[in-house]
Structure 1
Amino acid sequence: MVFRIRRIFDGLSPANEKAIARIREILKEQFPGVSPEEGESIPEKLRNQLKYGFQTILFAAEKGPGNVHGFALVLHDPILKFCYLDFVAVAGRDAGGGLGGILYERVRKEALDLGCVGLFFECLPDDPGLSREEPVRKQNIARLRFYERYGAVPITGTKYETPLEPGGDNPPYLVFDGLGRKQPLRREKARLIVAAILGKKYGSLCSPEYIRMVMESFRDDPVKLRPLKYVSEPRHAAVAAVLPESERVALFVNRDHAIHHVRERGYVESPVRVEAILKEILPSGLFTEKKTRHFGERHILKIHSAVFYHYLRKVCLPMQEGESVYPYVFPVRNAARPPQDLSVRAGYFCMDTFTPLNRNAFLAALGAVDCALSGARALVEGRHLAYALVRPPGHHAERRLFGGFCYFNSAAAAAEYLSAFGRVAMLDMDYHHGNGQQDIFFSRKDVLTVSVHGHPRFAYPYFSGFEDEKGEGEGRGYNLNLPLPEHITAQDYLDALRRASRRIKEHAPRFLVIPFGGDTCRKDPTGTWALTAKDFENNGRLAGALDLPVLVVQEGGYNTRLLGENVRSFFKGLFEASRSPGARLWSPASRDKRPEPR
């Protein structure tokens, strides 16, 4: 099995927890002088940029889920636009096998993708005057030779390698990798970067006077770099341009959705919706389609009444091709004596007259649940973003009701699955109220349900989605409805999303599920709002800034001319924000060691 380099965005999923535990072991093994706190702080570093002064980026080299053989930890400053390689380490049994190079190449690609001026790190010296012990100096030479293959060399003519204590041995060089570009490193830029490295990372060791002395020693403009000493020319200076598969959005498509096709005038929930989305998102390079797993009916029975599920199964599966049943009688007054005729009984479980029951609708709905659960499973296994592109939609399906083109609540099934691993938040971004998940989780506090939608006084489903519906029992306060007017601006929608985001942050979930609708766009036949592709991108960016593993489950969206573009724009914002959830001004942080990368 080949190594997979996977970016770990958080310590929230079980797979990531296991990987980080192994990374701590490798860190201790390869850097015995580093304090235990360095490893223990990794999850907090990933989520708390403000405290540590940098955005922390972590890569793991795996052979199979959680089987980590090496890692690289990078500090990114989005203001000064540079990356600092804090650690790169390979487990002892894998040393010398090329894995260090694979990790370093991935770090270089990340720095280039982030638009950095270059990649900086420390490397112990090869000068006998600075490294007095020959065995140590030989190791230092081997490392410098390795980095020269990529064009990375020490900065010269400065006092960066001045020992902190007089007579100290092995003070580190500051090495610069220009990422294969020929752009010179300007003096003032270098001074600011040095101040950031020494102040934020080593503030407890380096006095302000020491930092000022090192900064002012950068006098050449551009900064001088040491000529290649151990190789004749770099062999790996170029940086790969392809987004690694493990960092793309894991895409699960309900490929059998097209069997469910109601060819009636006005029935807008049609197969072309999925094709319109795929046509736009696949060329983007952000997605990698994964195989959908089959999970079985037990997951459906956790969110839907057994009576409801078995009724749909009993009435749908025997139907012939092209045969459908539409509810037309609603016998809600006598729950104890439902009609015996199955077609008449449909209204006993339905909330409208335009959602038909037929064999293919049932089968397609089962496939949609499998896709959503596969996406949830991907998050558990360490993916940061997953997309269940499904139809029929599901967010109107309640515990014992179908309607609004929805039969089984795929997003709720995914949230229920994820709730076994920690708290979950659901952020419904469809034009219509997510009454299904509200009903399913109304008395629970482990799954927060939030819905931003058109007010029920004018928008389907009309009977739910009011602000005073806040949950009941243990779930009181764990359902938030944000109904909006019939006509709004993009800013109105963003303001509502910000309010939703604040509540989600208070809940502190481990996972976020987004029932996503494209029907908030202009000229959607089922909505009244007019969001544009740019607005969808901004909305995605706000959701991504929550810095959580996210599963997006496709719900509505019926303007097929604009649907694909809007979905692509949403994921563009979500993806970019989740990779770097907001450039912030950070306070300095300190560290008590200055170990070099390996």
Structure 2
Amino acid sequence: MFRIRRIFDDLSPANGKALARIGEILKEQFPGARPGEAESIPEKLRNQLKYGFQTILFAAEKGAGKVHGFALALYDPLLKFTFLDYIAVPGAEAGGGLGGILYERVRKEALDLGCVGLFFECLPDDPELCRDGETRKQNAARLRFYERYGAVPVAGTKYETPLEPGGDNPPYLVFDGLGRQDPLRREKARLIVAAILGKKYGDLCPPEYIRMVMDSFRDDPVKLRPLKYVTAPERTAVAAALPESERVALFVNRDHAIHHVRERGYVESPVRVEAILREILPSGLFTEKKARHFGERHILKVHSAVFFSYLRKVCMAMPEKESVYPYVFPVRNAARPPQDLSVRAGYFCMDTFTPLNKNAFLAALGALDCALSGAQALAEGRHLAYALVRPPGHHAERRLFGGFCYLNSAAAAAEYLSAFGRVAMLDIDYHHGNGQQDIFYGRSDVLTVSLHGHPRFAYPYFSGFEDEKGEGEGRGFNLNLPLPEHLSGQEYLDALRRASRRIANHGARFLVVPFGGDTCKKDPTGTWSLAARDFENNGKLIGGLGLPVLVVQEGGYNTRLLGENVRSFFKGLFEASRSAGARLWSPASRDRRPAPRG
């Protein structure tokens, strides 16, 4: 079973491996391609503006990410058209239907983008344009394949005029209306032709040649060649569903409900997760994945062994439905912890309202596994992942718990991803992300950024100040943006822009977002009033960074609005992430036509 996966960048190890194989396939299948064509694909994905088009790349994978074919398309967001540059299916896979699957995926993308149509080049079946009979048969086979989708050459123009007089086998311009009956207007077609010839073939096509081809489009609407090989298109419909590989990978801590403190005022309750799921699952943006268990070594990379050992020991020894609240703190002698485990709780805690019990510890382990599974998904090429977990974790420091947090799931995910390159953490909970600040304070490979209520009025009160910038090697790699007690959505967005600029300057390969819904209006733990549209705008700004993003759920306690706000945030994140960021398959044989117009 093949999986068609969109590759947005070369940042993850899986994407790097896939791009290397795609480069090999391109060179194998297109020996006449211009030098550097394969090597330029990663840069085209990274630098969408340099080439005048947005590059869209799909890989057909089977098994452990092995690439069996690819399709590369160019999207013009101004003229709203897509140009199919390459489809390649090597070796034994050719003729097995994979080329059709890739083509249908490109058609869907063009339709989703609101394009007037899909354009590409196909070699001619006309004896006056192609002298070799065997080559004409191959060309006819390709044209027959595309006619099944209603795609036919543009007729009555000079697009297929050879660059050199007497040249052989120049390409047709083929138009696929994507199953719609809208005519292709002349002026639109002229601009599209100018974009194709100027942007893609500008180094080959002189301006006078481009002008000659443009002027040859005289019919309005543009004439299309009648169907020649089929009586009617067979596959004009385009699937409406979002492909699974491009949805947000969702990891839910399904056992979170075991941690339920039924005490008045304890707002970190199981209903939070259910409120979010109710809103996000019907959106079609998510695909739930099973989290895997990662083990203790990942915890000990972000938490001290002494702290974790105590946490496990005291929690697992607690009777069912009983909790210990820290009530004695080592103000006078921090070097001599008391022997009694319940009394010793204050030695590792930063407040008096975060209880220790067996289920809290087990739920925290499950949350950490979900976050690490999300990190692994990014490393394997996923572009967006969401760890929907509780209890939260961003207040848990290397040797302290508190603020409803026991283990820092987001920090563990960032640590995991740091093995593959630089990481940025952007904490957008109402409260300061003191946990990851403490854990990464002396490191430069993980940038920690936090937007939060100023510690003069907001928990945790003793951290989150602007002058906390990191230490040693990490100096300058911690950015705190403490914000006023009351602010508008626009003021928050302005601060988020400042944070985003710092993240862009960091050169991160991955972004981990500890996300709090407690920035919304009437949250019982916050003072701000962000609405659903603000969450969507924030998501758009973060998605515009073009990075693979893992979102880890932290706070958010107004359960009436929480789900809607999370859904709005992901809507903005998803849409911006998709925007930030030809030799054609032959059903008969491998296409070995020369580089287009070369």
TM-score (norm 1): 0.97
CA distance in 2, matches of 1:320, 1:594: 75
Partner residue, 1:420: 419
**Helix, strand or coil: the match of 1:282?**
helix
Per-residue deviation, 1:267: 0.5
Q: Distance in 2 between matches of 1:198 and 1:529?
A: 52
Q: How far is 1:327 from its partner? A: 0.7
Deviation at 1:65? 3.0
Structure 2 counterparts to residues 554-565 of structure 1, below 5 A: 554-565=553-564
Give the secondary-structure state (helix, strand or coil) at the position aligned to 1:578.
helix
Specify the alignment match of 1:192 in structure 2. 191
CA RMSD in angstroms, aligned pairs only:
1.1
Is 1:524 the counterpart of 2:536? The answer is no
Residue segments in structure 1 that go unaligned for 5+ positions in a row: 583-592
Paired amino acid for 2:485: E
Q: Any conservation in 1 of the 2:34–2:595 contact (CA below 8 Å)?
A: no
Paired with 1:494 and 1:167, the residues of 2 have a C-alpha distance of 60
Partner of 2:590: none
Counterpart contact for 2:30–2:594, Cα < 8 Å: no
CA separation of 1:556 and 1:469: change in aligned 2, threshold 3 A? same
Distance 2:331 2:234 in 1: 75
Is structure 2 residue 103 aligned with structure 1 residue 109? no
Separation (CA, whole Å) in 2 of partners of 1:315 and 1:377:
30
C-alpha offsets along residues 331-359 of structure 1, whole Å, 9 cap, x if unaligned? Answer: 14322211111111111111111100000
Q: Deviations over 1:332-391 (max 9, x none)?
A: 432221111111111111111110000000000000000000000001111000000000
**Aligned pairs (5 A) from 1:378-397:** 378-397=377-396
State how far apart, in whole Å, the 1-side matches of 2:232 and 2:520 are. 54
Bigger mean CA offset, 70-79 vs 332-341? 332-341
Aligned: 1:255 with 2:286: no
> Which deviations, in whole Å up to 9, do the C-alpha atoms of 1:299-337 show, x marking residues without a partner?
001000111000011100011111000111111432221
Map of 1:375-454 to 2, 5 A cutoff?
Answer: 375-454=374-453
Count of aligned pairs between the two proteins = 586
> What SS does the aligned partner of 2:314 have?
helix
SS at match of 1:32: coil
Answering whether residue 511 of structure 2 is matched by residue 506 of structure 1, we say no
Q: What residue in structure 2 maps to residue 69 of structure 1?
A: 68
Q: 1:119 is aligned with what amino acid? A: L
Asked whether 1:324 is paired with 2:299, we answer no
Render the CA deviation track for 1:247-287: whole Å, top value 9, x for unaligned. 10000000000000000111000000000000000000000
Question: Secondary structure in 2 aligned to 1:50?
Answer: coil
Structure 2 residue 338 is matched with structure 1 residue 339: yes
Task: Confirm or deny that 1:566 pairs with 2:565.
Answer: yes
For 1:262-281, list aligned pairs within 5 A: 262-281=261-280
In structure 2, relative to structure 1, the CA distance for the partners of 1:112 and 1:401 (3 Å cut) is: same
- Alignment-mate amino acid for residue 442 of structure 2: S
Matched residue of 1:38: which SS? coil
SS of the residue 1:176 aligns to:
strand
Amino acid paired to 2:566: V
Q: Secondary structure at the match of 1:43?
A: helix
Partners of 2:212 and 2:555 lie apart in 1 by 61
Amino acid across the alignment from 1:522 = K
Q: Secondary structure at the match of 2:306?
A: helix
**Which portions of structure 1, spanning 4 or more consecutive aligned residues, are displaced by more than 6 angstroms?**
none
Q: Distance in 1 between matches of 2:79 and 2:525?
A: 46
Q: Residue in 1 aligned with 2:36? A: 37
CA offsets 1:378-437 (integer angstroms, 9 cap, x no match): 011110000000000000000001001000000000000000111100000101110000
Deviations 1:518-542 (A, max 9, x none): 0111111111111111110110011
Letter in 2 for 1:468: D
Distance in 2 between the 1:15 and 1:158 partners?
Answer: 44
Code of the residue aligned with 2:254 in structure 1: it is R
> What is the aligned partner in structure 2 of residue 148 from structure 1?
147
- 1:465-490 deviation per Cα after TM superposition (whole angstroms, max 9, x unaligned): 11111000000010011111111111
Pairing of 1:52-67 with structure 2 (within 5 A):
52-67=51-66
Question: 1:496 maps to what in 2?
Answer: 495
Name the residue aligned to 1:355.
354
Cα distance change, pair 42–332 in 1 and its aligned pair in 2 (3 A): farther
Letter in 2 for 1:508: G
**Matching residue of 1:14:** 13
How far residue 219 of structure 1 moved from its aligned partner, in angstroms, is 0.9
Give 1:594 shift.
7.7
Structure-2 residue corresponding to 1:586: none
User: Post-superposition shift, 1:70?
Assistant: 0.3
Measured after TM superposition, the shift of residue 210 of structure 1 is 1.0
Give me the whole-angstrom Cα distance separating, in 2, the residues matched to 1:84 and 1:170: 20
CA displacement at 1:40 relative to structure 2? 0.5
1:300 matched to 2:299? The reply is yes
User: What CA distance in whole angstroms lies between the structure 2 residues aligned with 1:427 and 1:558?
Assistant: 20
Identity %: 86
Letter of the aligned partner of 1:115 in structure 2? G
* CA distance 1:430–1:490, change in 2 (3 Å): same
1:177, 1:387 → 2: CA distance? Answer: 36
Distance in structure 1 (CA, Å) of the matches to 2:55 and 2:226: 31
1:46 aligned to 2:45?
A: yes
The alpha-carbon distance between structure 1 residues 596 and 102, as it changes in their structure 2 partners (threshold 3 A), is farther
Query: Once the 2 structures are TM-superposed, how far is the Cα of residue 595 of structure 1 from its aligned partner?
Result: 3.7
TM-score, with length taken from structure 2: 0.97
For 1:459, the equivalent position in structure 2 comes to 458
Q: Residues 121 and 596 of structure 1 are in contact (CA less than 8 Å); yes or no, is this contact kept in structure 2? A: no
- Equivalent residue letter for 1:449: T
Letter in 2 for 1:442: Y
CA contact (8 A) 1:393 1:556 kept: yes
Q: Residue type matched to 1:536 in 2?
A: F
